[in-house]
Structure 1
Amino acid sequence: MTRSTEDTSGPVMWVTGAGSGMGRATSVAAARLGYRVALTGRRADALDRTAELVAEAGGRSLVQAMDATDDDDVRAAHDTILGRWGPVTRTVLSAGLNTPYRYWRDQSVSTFAEIVQTNLIAAARVVDHVLPGMRDAGDGVVVLISSYSGWRFSPDAGVAYSASKTALASLAESLNAQENANGIRACHLCPGDVDTEFLTMRPTVPGTSDRREMLSADDIARAVLFVMESPSHVCINELVISPTKKNGPAGRTSTGGLG
């Protein structure tokens, strides 16, 4: 199902995983700055709620349920955005997946493949669709929302999750090496612990006191918009964000169980 609030002004931003957490927060923050925001994700009801929040923020949205691991779905979503609003010049890849079964002793290869499909291959698929329009425009920003465990090895984050998120760094580096000349910049954004519903995928779900020390989805949204709003001659290749810890050495961040 596709719905939109029509307006042809403002840059076009496509947010995957827009139905919750960091994707939702980024969509609402971008709307406040005048972006037209295309919202995609698997859950139509969650996307509708994000669209309501975008409208409350005075923004414009286009909603389309989409499985980012399905090329036909991604192509159809991109064609709809292109036909309704024109080229996508800002992309936030926020769709992600993990599992409580994170170790070689208990993981399955089928789940490993599903996680890699969602976290890595789906991101590359969306980028592949938007790059021609960005090249034609001579302008584009891609933010790959990764993880602290994609920047520094985190033993409890999961075999598949760590591998797929680490690979996003290479995706960003290759984009910058090959596409900076076309005005396209990519950022590998690596948040530490963030208090979102994604925490339910952990073997042990953190309690209220632990969540109070974490980053919020709005913290990540501000970081994404910092990257998006930077001047065109500035490429923020990688950005690592971690919560301060009140009960430990200054500047130290827990890396256990990320994702």
Structure 2
Amino acid sequence: MRRFNGKVAFITGAASGIGRAAAIAFAREGARVAITDRTEAPLEQLRAVIEGDGGEALAIRCDVSVPEEVEAAVIRAVERFGRLDCAFNNAGVENKAAPVHEIALEEWDRILDINLRGTFVCMQHEIGQMLRQGSGVVVNTSSGAGVRGVAGGASYAASKHALIGLTKSAALDYAKANIRVNAVLPGNIETPMMDRFTGGDIQKAIDLEPVGRLGKPEEIAEAVLWMCSDLGAFVTGASISVDGAWSL
């Protein structure tokens, strides 16, 4: 079965890690995918992978902290594919580790602008299109850090906690409009972001995981696809942890 035949998926932060895995998974399940990120070369490489596997992809350079670029990206996706059924707002950045009193205001603003404000702006344009067509599903990437504290990570944790509140509120706003909004909460995952955050010492992250290993991007992607699928049709306003019990 191909769960997304005839559907269109729009994915931010698609150039690597979880976003890349989700784009490939959506395409293999029959979706046409609009893939966005700030860096063009990895996007084009991903587009080639998807099309080489028989899928259809549109690569769009987009910085989610720039509202005009977000609006233009959604318009391009709809112009190309005609609709927008699934939106996976995955673009995000990690903070520079520091206790609260040492966090520069510029660093705080950078994290919140991308992780929270960027997702909010994406949702506005995605949901606007979904309202016009009468249906849709949005999944936002929060984090295990959205439900627990992280020493040295106040800005990141604040952004990811806020995303859960945004997700729950939007789910209520659009529950009667046939639009579902959920969040996925990854734990410590094998991604370039994790490499940067640990300074290449991945064992640090493994030691934090009760299951004794890092998660795989494909495991997060599968949760996202389920939330977007017809079998997830009764799920909205949920924050689903996929983290090997890290957030418990």
The normalised TM-score by structure 2 is: 0.89
The correspondence of residues 1-259 of structure 1 with structure 2, limited to 5 A, is 10-150=6-146, 152-156=147-151, 158-202=153-197, 204-207=199-202, 213-231=213-231, 233-236=233-236, 237-243=238-244, 252-253=245-246
Q: Distance in 2 between matches of 1:182 and 1:32?
A: 28
Shift of 1:104: 1.4
Identity %: 27
The CA RMSD measured in Å over matched residues stands at 2.0
Are the equivalent residues in 2 in contact too, given 1:183–1:232 (CA < 8 A)?
no
Are the equivalent residues in 2 in contact too, given 1:21–1:197 (CA < 8 A)?
yes
Shift of 1:53: 2.0
Question: Which stretch shows the higher mean deviation, 87-96 or 17-26?
Answer: 87-96
Deviations 1:51-100 (A, max 9, x none): 12212332110011111111111111111112111121210011011123
Letter in 1 for 2:60: Q
Unaligned runs of 5+ in 2: 207-211
Could you say what secondary structure the match of 1:37 adopts? strand
Deviations 1:103-161 (A, max 9, x none): 214321101101001001100101101112211222111000110011x2132261110
The normalised TM-score by structure 1 is: 0.86
Paired position in structure 2 for 1:4: none
Could you say what secondary structure the match of 2:36 adopts? strand
Higher helix proportion (structure 1 or 2): 2
Change (3 A) 1:219 1:85: same
Shift of 1:232: 6.8
Letter in 1 for 2:171: N
